[in-house]
Amino acid sequence: MERRKFIKSAALGTGAITLAHTYSFASNTTKKVKIGFIGVGGRGQGLLNEILTLDWVEVPAICDINPNALAASQEIFKKHGRQKPSEYGIDELDYKRLVERDDLDAVIIATYWQWHTPMAVDAMKAGKYVGVEVPAALTVDECWQLVDTSEETGMPCMMMENWSFRQDNLAVLNMIRAGMYGDIVHCHCAHSHDCIDHWFFDKETGKDKWPAEFLVKYNRDQYPTHSLGPVLSWMDIPCGDTFDHITSMATDSKGINTMFTERFGKDHPSARRKYAQGDIVTSMIRTKMGKSIIVNYDMQLPRPYDNEWKIQGTLGIYNEQRTSLYLKNRSPEYHQWEAFAPYQDKYNHNFWKSNYQGEGHGGVDLIELGYFAEAVRDKIQTPIDVYESVLMSCVVALSGDSIAKGSQPVEIPDFTRGKWKTIKPSFAI
């Protein structure tokens, strides 16, 4: 495949991180990349299954406190004809031995949420690139820990936000960058995914799985990054604009109790338990340059999956639910929707013409992993950087703060310390 190089000089000028984004659109390389995995449960195994298709990526070590997860992962290595990796996981801190290995270039973290930041910080301190699952951080203090450690060590930290790499979202990004929607003034996004019947609680027994405790203790947008990921690139955040403040509102919590009552009876302890988490959380974010974003959390009511992306600009509108758009200077009929599909073909992003043709999440996972691994290989900035990672993640904590204060606006810290005014857009350039 022809090797095409797009080099965007995106020196961030912040701390030690002055690496440029570079995309090669090819995996013809003899240089190997060595990546360790921490957390090889459902998501970790999914990522392993994709990344092991890249012959220039090796995974010499895996870590998990659950022996069953380690055993199931070994089967994935066998399936791909790969060498057996070393295993870690004698206790919750054993990952530290993995990140200290001097043969690793990077680690990918797919553990429980509360471990993401501590593991990412330790890995960066050990000189490793970090790819960390969503959300990267649970508190504002953790967000700062990631930024400070990344700046101090010079090690990039990418939250693995796969929806930023979706084919439709990237085609829309190309159209925005071609000026077709004019100035973007507003976006709507949602994570509408009923997860209480399989992910928060066990499908068969109803027993708590590890994320259930977050629904008992907290009332906030627990999962804002899949919805916000593409919005950041559509709105040039934090590269020309950034978040200013957030106002959030939650409904009462009814969905979880109803699900348990219906499936296990009204006397089941989980049917009678009180959950802090409201069913629907709606957050409004105002940006410093006067734009707005609506972010919906919707994971506890029965419904098909949806992201409800909508973009409004001075020259047009895109509506993902309708798979339609309207462009003032282009659409054939005045104020009538037209189909998005031909535009997706025409503005298809180069990421989707690459060698990274995988299966996970409709193909996005291998594209995300491929470009992460290329960044590690070429010692350049990761496709999603630490500032983008924490801006998406901070909505977890700050939506909770706003809800607790009766929906009062809460300031969103400027994690770039003013650099958002000069950083140039570089995601998927």
Question: Which residues of this protein are in contact with ligand NAD, per CB under 6 A?
Answer: 38-39, 41-44, 63-66, 69, 89, 92, 95, 110-113, 115, 133-134, 160, 162, 210, 361
The nearer residue to ligand NAD, 125 or 328, going by C-beta atoms, is 125
- Tell me how far, at minimum, the Cβ of 229 lies from ligand NAD, in Å: 10
What is d(CA 187, CA 192) in angstroms, rounded to the nearest whole number? 16
Chain residue at closest Cβ approach to ligand NAD: 41
Please say which residue, 191 or 349, places its beta carbon nearer to ligand NAD. Answer: 191
Nearest distance from residue 154's CB to ligand NAD, in Å? Answer: 25
Q: Which of 311, 299, 287 is nearest to 180 (CA)?
A: 311
Task: Please state the closest distance from residue 40 (CB atom) to ligand NAD, in A.
Answer: 6
Closer residue to ligand NAD (CB): 309 or 347: 309
Dihedral sign computed on CA atoms, order 150, 151, 152, 153: positive
- Tokens at 423, concatenated: 């950083």
Q: Which is nearer to ligand NAD, 241 or 385 (CB)?
A: 385
Q: Which string of DSSP letters, residue by residue, matches 362-400? A: GGHHHHHHHHHHHHHHHT---SS-HHHHHHHHHHHHHHH
Residue with smaller CB distance to ligand NAD, 101 or 186 = 101
Q: Is the dihedral of CA 415, 236, 229, 159 positive or negative?
A: negative
Alpha-carbon span 91 to 86, nearest angstrom: 15
- Whether residue 309 contacts residue 189, with contact meaning beta carbons closer than 8 Å, is answered with yes
Question: Smallest distance from the beta carbon of 64 to ligand NAD, in angstroms?
Answer: 4
CB-nearer residue toward ligand NAD: 10 or 386: 386
**Minimum CB separation from ligand NAD for residue 199, in Å?**
6
Query: How many other β-carbons are positioned within 10 Å of the β-carbon of residue 167?
Result: 16
For the four alpha carbons of 119, 121, 123 and 129, in that order, the dihedral sign comes to positive
Cβ–Cβ < 8 Å for 175, 317: no
Taking the C-alpha atoms of residue 330 and residue 315, their distance in angstroms, rounded to an integer, is: 10
Distance of closest approach, residue 31 Cβ to ligand NAD, in angstroms: 27
Find the shortest distance in angstroms from Cβ 374 to ligand NAD: 19
Nearer of residues 123 and 325 to ligand NAD, judged by Cβ: 123
